[in-house]
Amino acid sequence: MAENCSHDCSSCGADCASRGKQNLKKPLHELSDVKKVIAVVSGKGGVGKSMTCALLAAAAQNKGKVTAVMDADITGPSIPRMFGLTEHAKGGENGILPVLTDGGIQVISMNVLLENEAEPVVWRGSLISGTVLQFWTDVIWTGVDIMFIDMPPGTGDVPLTVFQSIPLDGIVIVTSPQDLVGMIVQKAVNMAQMMNVPILGIVENMSYIKCPDCGRKLSVFGESGVDALALEYGIPNVAKLPIDSELTKAADSGNIENLGNNYLSDFFDKILKKLK
């Protein structure tokens, strides 16, 4: 048991005897059906977690999976912009309905609930965690094969609550080459291991830039360390995402679903195999 135990496991990560007796997982809405849930996590913000989440969702939808995205990054939601969503979510008698992208991906995000998307969410952690859990319990997710959760960055209060309360089938870790020699990633790996959630793969974003003249891969942020890291933790599925202005353009114009080249398509196939 943790020192100074408050007997409230929802705000504690210690793996002790009292936790074993509690099931902190929250039920889905009675009209919802979600088969697999993957959380996309990063040790810190700005590394391309939402980009990875959006590309994975687009890859899944493209392969005929009924796909959903839960944007749990409450204070920095970017999923609606990447999919060009301008509509608001509608509430019915039975619950909240997600907004649909052009390709049919079901999305819920703070930005499709706010009147004005520029409004800042200045909330305490407990309120933010409560909202994320409501995205799970109060939204009607219809016949979803695979849901991706765009997690808030870091290993703080909100990610911890999501890990404890939503039955995750696995996580994908997003990192960048300059992540302090993997220290920040190690925190995310340790958190997943503490919570007994399988790590399905690591994406190194902004890994390189391709020279438009000679096609050589240039490591602008230094040599990649992700292979060594993946080896150390026994994670065989690694993807390296280049800095590509087509990605920025597609994300900024709401066209992430319509990219000709989805860099994470093969990576997603390997995830699917692991999930079976």
Residues at the interface with ligand ADP (CB under 6 A): 42, 45-51, 78, 205-206, 241, 243-244, 247-248, 251
Phi, psi of 123, rounded to the nearest 5 degrees: -125, 155
Q: Are 43 and 181 in contact (CB under 8 A)?
A: no
The gap between the terminal CA atoms of the chain, to the nearest Å, is 35
Residue 140 vs 199, nearer CB to ligand ADP: 199
Least distance (Å) from ligand ADP to the CB of residue 192?
17
Least distance (Å) from ligand ADP to the CB of residue 84?
13
Residue 67 neighbours by CB under 8 Å, 6+ apart: 57, 60, 61, 104, 105, 106, 144, 145, 146, 147, 148
Answer positive or negative: Cα dihedral of 84, 46, 202, 209.
positive
Residue 42 vs 111, nearer CB to ligand ADP: 42
User: How far, CA to CA in Å, does 93 sit from each of 34, 59, 90, 138, 168?
Assistant: 21, 33, 10, 11, 28
Residue 32 vs 262, nearer CB to ligand ADP: 262
Least distance (Å) from ligand ADP to the CB of residue 186?
17
Q: Are 47 and 188 in contact (CB under 8 A)?
A: no
Least distance (Å) from ligand ADP to the CB of residue 104?
22
Residue 129 vs 205, nearer CB to ligand ADP: 205
Residue 9 vs 247, nearer CB to ligand ADP: 247
Residue 22 vs 248, nearer CB to ligand ADP: 248
Q: What single-letter amino acid sits at 193?
A: Q
Least distance (Å) from ligand ADP to the CB of residue 134?
21
Q: Are 52 and 241 in contact (CB under 8 A)?
A: yes
Least distance (Å) from ligand ADP to the CB of residue 4?
33
